[in-house]
Structure 1
Amino acid sequence: VRVVKDDLGYEFRLGAPPRRIISLAPNITEILFALGLGEQVSAVTRYCDFPAEAARKAKIGGLTDPDIEKIQSLEPDLVLAYRGNPLGAVRKMRELRLPVFVLDEGSKLNNLIEMISRVGRVTGREPEAEALVRRLREEMEGIKSRLRKTGAGLRAFLLLPGEGLWTCGSQSYVHDLLEQAAAVNIAAGIPRPWAPFSREGLLAEDPDVLVLLARDPRAFEEARNRLRADPRLRHLKAVRLNRLIFVDENKASRFGPRLVEVYAELARALHPECFKENSGHQPS
């Protein structure tokens, strides 16, 4: 019997491929379905809405309030937990001898590759994980090769949805996404994943472009209109010149395979000149 350690350092025994898997996070659910494990997924959180089939699975609560009794009643042979699940809940599941394997969120796009490989290993889907990893790496390399033609990176500010000016600091994978897309994150000096940014700081930095995470194009338009109506922020260069980029919040807020799509879309929006038909090979 092979033994591997999860991201909390606990040992996990690898036996027969699991037939009843419970996912405690949306990104884990996406990875499982991408590996062809949809039928083996018994239950997911109420936030697991991609792919569409995931939304039809039984629900075991949310990311921070998993229903442990419900999880136990489903008799899973694998529970995939994630950063954001309360440690107390994870401990309780271990006490109940539930087969829990915990995965931590990475701070780099490349950490996603490692996570997919680990999920493939504990689910007995290593060949499928290798194929997915190979495809994602090819797509990432295709984008990177395009971006070699660009010069100095545009100075960017990423704005999260909601009140205030929340953004990503240097410990967030979204910061790495910006850097990979040849942008300079003006909030890189903040040593946290997510943090509020002051209006004064944003006005002083006056970035070249604003990247807006939004639920859908309509929410993006509403955010853009709020910026244009703001008596101070409307003077930002990016607002005046309409250098505002829409990024799908659902895709970008989950550390899963669709992040590579976000990387491609962000790179194209920031550097369209690198993606013209006559500029070389298209990304895979």
Structure 2
Amino acid sequence: MRENPEKVVSLQPSNTEILFALEQGDKVVGVTDFDNYPEEAKNIEHVSDSVNINAEKIIALKPDAIIAYTIGDEATLKLLEDAGIPVFIIKSAANSDDVYGDIRQIAKVMGVAKKGDELVKDIKSLITSVEEKVETLDEKEQTYFEVSPAPEIYITGAETFQQEILDTAGIKNIFDDQKGWVKVSDEEIVKRNPKSIITTAKYADDAVGVIKSRKGWEDIDAVKNNHVHLLDENVTSWTKDRGSC
């Protein structure tokens, strides 16, 4: 591999985002079907659906390195390594410390370690600024965070990246007594009566409208007061295997 790769393939959207944040986006020649951020990533050659990897396409691109992730097509990655292409496995982030580690690792691979340190410093500074602002809040907003819609509703609980974001923002997750991504019932959500509802699920043209129109949800405070919001999944998740931005 060249000391500083000039052509790289990224097999996870979060890693692609990091490459662009490190100002290395012009070196990315292959991505997955789910790479949609930043906008420039949409125009890069697709070489994977995040599960299956098209080795033939990747070899034809002649990359200097492949940046993969921990849950991948191991057999195909081995095939690519045997073809002489260095493969770097990046651990899917579960918290901000993991993200910082990913940034530094990718920056090292690309030969821009200093820029990686600077990016981590900037992110930490931004988080500190937010934390200082929310310290003055008298009460945390009781919030329900939906990551997968009906009929099998999944929520985010403790020990997830999304929970860390909520904590930083001074928001109370009504399901922080659960761990990971958990399937829950309509009845349990109604019973806990969140004051606000947020979702990243782009399962309909009007996800907010779908949530507000669910039978039995009309008595939830968040629905009654029109506090239902759709958030950008690129901001609230570092990993896109859903899964990891």
TM class by shorter chain equals 0.7 to 0.9
Residue equivalent to 1:236:
220
Given that 1:214 and 1:248 are in contact with CA atoms closer than 8 Å, whether structure 2 keeps it comes out as no
Given that 1:215 and 1:250 are in contact with CA atoms closer than 8 Å, whether structure 2 keeps it comes out as no
Residue equivalent to 2:150:
163
1:49 match: secondary structure: coil
Residue equivalent to 2:166:
178
1:16 aligned onto 2:3: yes
Aligned-pair Cα RMSD in Å: 2.5
Deviation of 1:124 after TM superposition, in Å, equals 0.5
With 26-35 and 206-215 compared, the bigger mean Cα shift is at 206-215
Given that 1:25 and 1:81 are in contact with CA atoms closer than 8 Å, whether structure 2 keeps it comes out as yes
**Following the alignment from structure 1 to structure 2, what is the Cα–Cα distance between the partners of residues 51 and 227?**
28
Q: Which 5+ residue runs of structure 1 have no aligned equivalent?
A: 1-13, 257-284
**Following the alignment from structure 1 to structure 2, what is the Cα–Cα distance between the partners of residues 229 and 62?**
33
Task: Pick from 20, 30, 34 the counterpart of residue 17 of structure 2.
Answer: 30
1:167 match: secondary structure: strand
- The verdict on how the C-alpha distance between 1:250 and 1:106 changes in structure 2, with shifts beyond 3 A counting, is closer
Given that 1:168 and 1:195 are in contact with CA atoms closer than 8 Å, whether structure 2 keeps it comes out as yes
Residue equivalent to 1:199:
186
Residue identity opposite 1:127 in structure 2 = K
1:59 match: secondary structure: strand
Residue equivalent to 1:65:
52
Deviations 1:228-281 (A, max 9, x none): 32231111121112222331124323349xxxxxxxxxxxxxxxxxxxxxxxxx
- The verdict on how the C-alpha distance between 1:252 and 1:84 changes in structure 2, with shifts beyond 3 A counting, is farther
Residue equivalent to 1:10:
none
2:175 match: secondary structure: coil
Matches within 5 A, 1:7-156: 16-156=3-143
1:60 match: secondary structure: strand
**Following the alignment from structure 1 to structure 2, what is the Cα–Cα distance between the partners of residues 64 and 57?**
18
2:34 match: secondary structure: coil
**Following the alignment from structure 1 to structure 2, what is the Cα–Cα distance between the partners of residues 223 and 49?**
19
Residue equivalent to 1:251:
235
Residue identity opposite 1:177 in structure 2 = I
Given that 1:107 and 1:176 are in contact with CA atoms closer than 8 Å, whether structure 2 keeps it comes out as no
**Following the alignment from structure 2 to structure 1, what is the Cα–Cα distance between the partners of residues 47 and 189?**
41
With 229-238 and 85-94 compared, the bigger mean Cα shift is at 85-94
**Following the alignment from structure 1 to structure 2, what is the Cα–Cα distance between the partners of residues 178 and 68?**
39
**Following the alignment from structure 1 to structure 2, what is the Cα–Cα distance between the partners of residues 122 and 167?**
35
Q: Which 5+ residue runs of structure 2 have no aligned equivalent?
A: 241-245
TM-score when normalising by structure 1: 0.76
With 133-142 and 79-88 compared, the bigger mean Cα shift is at 79-88
- The verdict on how the C-alpha distance between 1:107 and 1:151 changes in structure 2, with shifts beyond 3 A counting, is farther
